Structure 1
Amino acid sequence: MSSPTSLVTELRPLTSAVLTVRIIKNFPFRTTKNLVLRDVDLMTTTVGELMAQCREAIASQVGFKHYRGVELDTIKKYTVAHGHKSQNLIINLDNDEWILSDLSQTLADAGCENETELSFFNRQAYDEFKVHPETRWD
């Protein structure tokens, strides 16, 4: 039984984590949709396997129909549970070291834990947005 002061990240083992992946279609218009993945084994699931799992969900789930034409090639941590969130609502523009570029690295080794939020996006679009991080409404 957990203590009353246990953090939610400690209530689930690393072998059964919940992750939220922000699937980003467009940075300036902040077009994004969350994909919630349950029971992810962070100890064995690699970054590449997570990317494949996200692509499979996008291809098969009706709610992601408009995201199927986007070339998603990069995953970056947005925040970990109980961590500070970015002021940018779509992606953390700071901490480029949080980009998970080693596709063979396990999610646990990459610093993911229960309730980590990640962003899945096109790297070229991210780099362009980072130079001019202006949002649009038109």
Structure 2
Amino acid sequence: MNIEEPLTSNVRPVTDSVLTIRIVKSFPYRNVKNYILTSANLKELTPKDLLVKIRDIINSTGALRPYRNVDYDTIKIYTKAHGTKSMNLVINMENDDSWVLVCENEAHKVDKKASLHDLGVENETELSLFNWEAYCAFKENPEEKW
């Protein structure tokens, strides 16, 4: 008898999803803090709305105080539920064209107007929040420091 249980990422509705936001303060020093966003309505939430929401959370949550001195302007998919993960523990450096959901940097403006659900974000997706210029500098010289 073969009874398969559904994946946990498929059990919750897209109107009540859980997202992990990886707040990246420093790429070379691997300063990353995970924030779990619960009850996210992926059908209504846009990348720009999520960026504003996470900035508000950083500025109002005491545990995130050390992360307030970075100008976070970009959200990119790190990994989707049950998908392969990047070998880089800080950021997924692949798929910049399709996985960057919003970027306010003048040199690389991206503002996808569709909902997160329409852009392929599912329950239990991990998203990275970071500064685009710092990301570009790290991508050119991906040296990790201690």
Report the TM-score when normalising by structure 2: 0.89
Determine the structure 2 residue equivalent to 1:116: 125
Identity %: 47
Count of paired positions: 135
Aligned to 2:136: 127
**Alpha-carbon separation, structure 1, partners of 2:95 and 2:128:** 13
**TM-score normalised per structure 1:** 0.94
Gaps of 5+ in 1: none
Partner of 1:54: 54
The aligned residue for residue 89 of structure 1 is 89
For 2:77, the equivalent position in structure 1 comes to: 77
Aligned-pair CA distance for 1:68: 0.8
Q: Secondary structure at the match of 2:122?
A: coil
CA root-mean-square deviation = 1.1
User: Match for 1:129: what amino acid?
Assistant: F
Whole-Å Cα distance in 1 between the matches of residues 119 and 27 of structure 2?
Answer: 24
Give the Cα–Cα distance (whole angstroms) in 1 for the partners of residues 93 and 141 of structure 2: 11
- Unpaired stretches in structure 2, ≥5 consecutive residues: 102-109
Q: CA deviation at 1:105?
A: 2.2
**Runs of 4+ more than 6 Å apart:** none
